[in-house]
Amino acid sequence: MNLNLFKASLTIFVVGLFSCNKVGNQNDATHKNEIQASFSFHQNYLKEIEKLPKKSPHEKDTTMLFVKGGSFLMGGTSVQANPDELPVHKETVDDFYMDATEVTNAEFSAFVTATGYITTAERPIDPHFIAAITGVAPETVDTDPAALVFNGNPKMWWSMVKGANWRHPQGPKSTIIGKDSYPVVQVSWYDAIAYCHWANKRLPTEEEFEYAARNQGKQIKYSWGNDFNKAVEYANFHQGNFPLGNLKIDNFEGLAPVKSFKNNALGIYDIGGNVWEWTLNSYFSDAYSKKINFEQPILANDNTLNQKKVIRGGSFLCNESYCSGYRVAARMNASPDTGLEHLGFRCVRNSTK
């Protein structure tokens, strides 16, 4: 099957990244074509992933920590809370295991070596897919593989860079050589799902992610507690005025190797800061209201490319005065085929206890 089209929406949805902005008005025919193309894209990618080999289920895994489930109040309670973090509501999660760290370059490399998997950012754009959902002529589409790299320009934070991928996070001249212990980035939601499939794990739900970040549901603002003065001990984030003037009090301007900062009370590292992390959930700005009103399950309607996915945890680009994404309640979103230099993931596994 032809699966090399799965990076296509990077070209289309860049402007809307990390915002709740809606796609502009479309006529019915265009919208129908986009839905059909997106549905095929999503379904075909998941079918490809299901065919990947898996690690032996008996292979010992010492990278995961047990998290005792329970009920907690989910949502933002600070003055920095965004509308999509409200209203605060009760959630319950079962026992589960969570990776102590974000998946590293070394771990992702082992997956690629074992399966031959090609990430979204390494696949050429299919011009016919672009034509189907935009109406442009296929011959005018640039099909070279590319991904998004931060450029610091407030008018457009991100630039499409050809040759940027997990091996070259900032473009072809960058490298991960010597960075085995750094979190893998420039991986799409599909790439994360593929890794989880191979590893006999899954992505965390955002409920599980927040519960773990809250040290099993405690009413705290940050994964380490409520004192922001301790932030540089626990999280890799931007100190100073964003985006310029990074004071680097924590000794890192960009990515940091996993375990460079203190773990939270559960033993989990970087659950706030370093890189944003994919979750299983589809994103709805009114998700919490939907839940309280007992409407359709939140994981429904996730079969189209422009159904964005929830990302959690904040990154090295977050700042207390800008997005404070490392707060335990903070939510962001990205389209599932997106790769970014500050977006990675970690895995969870259901508990057998």
Sorting pLDDT into bands at 50, 70 and 90, what band is 26? very low
The predicted pLDDT at position 217 comes to: 96
For tokens 């402007």, what's the residue?
Answer: 15
Beta bridge pairs of residue 312: 277
Q: May I ask the CATH class of domain 9-22+29-350?
A: alpha beta
How many Å apart are CA 304 and CA 42, to the nearest integer?
6
How many Å apart are CA 345 and CA 154, to the nearest integer?
26
Q: pLDDT by residue (tens digit) across 290-330? A: 877 654 444 445 555 557 899 999 999 999 888 899 999 99
Q: Is the pLDDT of residue 91 over 70?
A: yes
Q: pLDDT by residue (tens digit) across 38-77? A: 667 778 889 999 999 999 887 778 889 999 999 999 999 9
Q: Where are the domains of the chain?
A: 9-22+29-350
Sorting pLDDT into bands at 50, 70 and 90, what band is 240? confident
